[in-house]
Amino acid sequence: MELDVLAIVAHPDDAELGCGGTLLKLKSEGKKTGIVDLTPGQMGTRGTVALRQQEAEAAKEILQLDLRCNLGLQDVFFSNTPEQQLPVIEIIRQTRPKVVITNAPIDRHPDHGKAAQLVRDACFYSGLAKLKTQYPAYRPSKIFYMIQDQYLEPSFVIDITSFYEQKLKAILAFASQFYNPHSTEPETLISSKRYLHLIEARARHFGHYIGTEFGEGFIHTQPLKVHSLLDLVN
């Protein structure tokens, strides 16, 4: 299956938080989208691997994804090595996305920055014809980085106003991880009610940048090509 946009992220729920609205908007435009979770989140304080997999499947339906899979790398202890780059290269070559979205380049959780480096390198190596795998060489046109817990200045912002409520449903599909007044598990930063307020505040802040109610910000490390100055006019 070839995709237009593929999010490759460290943990189940990373993509929902960072680019869920953008993925929903792409689906409304008839694009093919997917999420690859590098790890099943084995080291998370709350929930279990099996439960988080069920939650990921529920979120897949809400986001109307064409693909969701988990590469099964070790949460916390995965690293940017040839052995762990190869399955990422394989999924990139298999799905041939025009755009890859990945974790923030630096963030509170060290796994996010590690995943960003792993995905960045895998995207480049995926284009090397002499690196032989099951699928032929292919390199995505662009890599965009999400903005997660730590505030980073966005290179651009996507208007997700029409999709914010659906994005929130996808996030809350991970009931083991986020605010659940009936949970008896230990409270974490992201399971607190105030974290839901932070999600909304961040989306409103980015929306304010572009004159809309809600937005998602992304980082690109190189200048973006613009065909006409008027393309930048709303």
CATH code at 35? 3.40.50.10320
34-38, 100-104, 188-192: the lowest-pLDDT one: 188-192
Structure-block tokens of residue 154: 């966005």
Q: What Å distances lie between residue 8 and 22, 38, 112, 166, 211, CA to CA?
A: 14, 7, 11, 20, 29
Q: Has residue 234 got a pLDDT over 80? A: no
Q: Are strands 215-219 and 142-146 parallel, antiparallel or unpaired?
A: antiparallel
Domain count of the fold of the chain = 1
Cβ–Cβ under 8 Å, residues 174 and 191: no
Q: Is 132 exposed, middle or buried (0-12, 13-18, 19+ CB in 10 A)?
A: exposed
pTM (2 decimals)? 0.96
Q: What would the mean pLDDT of 140-154 be, rounded to a whole number?
A: 97
Residues 56-76 have pLDDT tens digits of 999 999 999 999 999 999 999
pLDDT higher than threshold 90 for residue 182: no
At 24, the pLDDT band (50, 70, 90 cuts) reads very high
The residue segments making up the domain with residue 100 are 5-232
What is the pLDDT confidence band of residue 133, given thresholds at 50, 70 and 90?
very high
Q: What is the reported pLDDT for 146? A: 98
Tokens for 179, please give them: 């605010």
* CA 58/CA 52 separation, integer angstroms: 10
Beta bridge partners of 217: 157
| 40: its two tokens | 């099943």
The alpha-helical segments, DSSP class H, found in the chain are 14-28, 49-63, 82-95, 110-125, 164-172, 193-209
Distance from C-alpha of 134 to C-alpha of 35, rounded to nearest angstrom: 20
